Amino acid sequence: AGSLVATANVNAASAIDGILSSDELKVCFEAGYIPFEMKTKDGRFIGFDIDIGKHMARTMDVKFVPVNTAWDGIIPALQTEKCDIIMGGMTITAQRNLKVMFANPYITIGQTVVIKPELEGKITSYKDLNDPKYTITSQLGTTGAEAAKKYLSKAKLDLFETSADGVLQVANGKADAFVYDLPFNALYSSQHQDTVVHLDESFTYEPLGWAIRQDDPNFLNFLNNYLTQIKNDGTYDRIYSKWFES
């Protein structure tokens, strides 16, 4: 251990320096999280997070560069500088906050369950699924997986690399319920009314925030003030209605 003076990080580089010198804002997300980030058939990325990311890049007068990343490797991707920021509907959790800095929440959601139609009426709350006879699915490394372990510890849990694979087990009747973020579940079930049923009672509190590398107060300050601005000048509402009210 050195002296206080020797260890003080007086001139830490901000991600802002790299963004401005490269003229690129590199954004990590994991496509497949409707309606926040999706990949179109012709390979473009669209969604709520993507539109905000593009607007943010425009505000900084740099190019928006999408970095589609497996969810369970997304924090390492940020840490190894594959991107400057995670804009992927990431829940601000205490555990993650020990590794990354989060800007203020841009939206708050909660976990819900999607069940197979045969269970409609029998399962009226997520709590009814806490039984060894049920198989639950979720996505690896998500707060959905954590919520299933915590609140449905008696059920069998199968985790999948993508949310699409997890929810498909329920749609196929191979699993009983899928635990995931409410916006995804609401949209998926409205698009697959014949194969799944949504119980829209949310049972966790989950503020979602943009994540950046540690020790970067300059970028954090930029992000929080940028968020306040777009929340109050109509930009956020315009993008929100485009993806959540159609």
Residues that bind ligand ARG (CB under 6 A): 29-30, 32-33, 37, 71, 88-91, 142-143, 181, 208
Contact 131, 154 (CB under 8 A): yes
Our CB check for ligand ARG shows the closer of 89 and 199 to be: 89
In angstroms, give the least distance from the CB of 84 to ligand ARG: 17
In angstroms, give the least distance from the CB of 224 to ligand ARG: 19
d(CA 158, CA 118): 20
d(CA 55, CA 75): 23
Structure tokens at 52: 């905000």
Element (H, E) at 205: none
In angstroms, give the least distance from the CB of 41 to ligand ARG: 19
Our CB check for ligand ARG shows the closer of 32 and 66 to be: 32
Structure tokens at 134: 């049920």
In angstroms, give the least distance from the CB of 90 to ligand ARG: 4
In one-letter notation, the amino acid at residue 76 is P
Total Cβ atoms within 10 A of residue 233: 10
Our CB check for ligand ARG shows the closer of 29 and 226 to be: 29
Total Cβ atoms within 10 A of residue 183: 21
Write the secondary structure of 63-113 as one string of H (helix), E (strand) and C (coil).
Answer: EEEEEECCHHHHHHHHHCCCCCEECCCCECCHHHHCCCEECCCCEEECEEE
d(CA 78, CA 87): 11
Our CB check for ligand ARG shows the closer of 30 and 84 to be: 30
Our CB check for ligand ARG shows the closer of 29 and 210 to be: 29
In angstroms, give the least distance from the CB of 95 to ligand ARG: 11
Our CB check for ligand ARG shows the closer of 53 and 89 to be: 89
List helix spans (H) across 102-234.
143-151, 163-171, 182-191, 217-232
- Please, which residues bridge with residue 109 across strands? 206
Our CB check for ligand ARG shows the closer of 181 and 216 to be: 181
In angstroms, give the least distance from the CB of 146 to ligand ARG: 8
In angstroms, give the least distance from the CB of 88 to ligand ARG: 4
d(CA 84, CA 60): 13
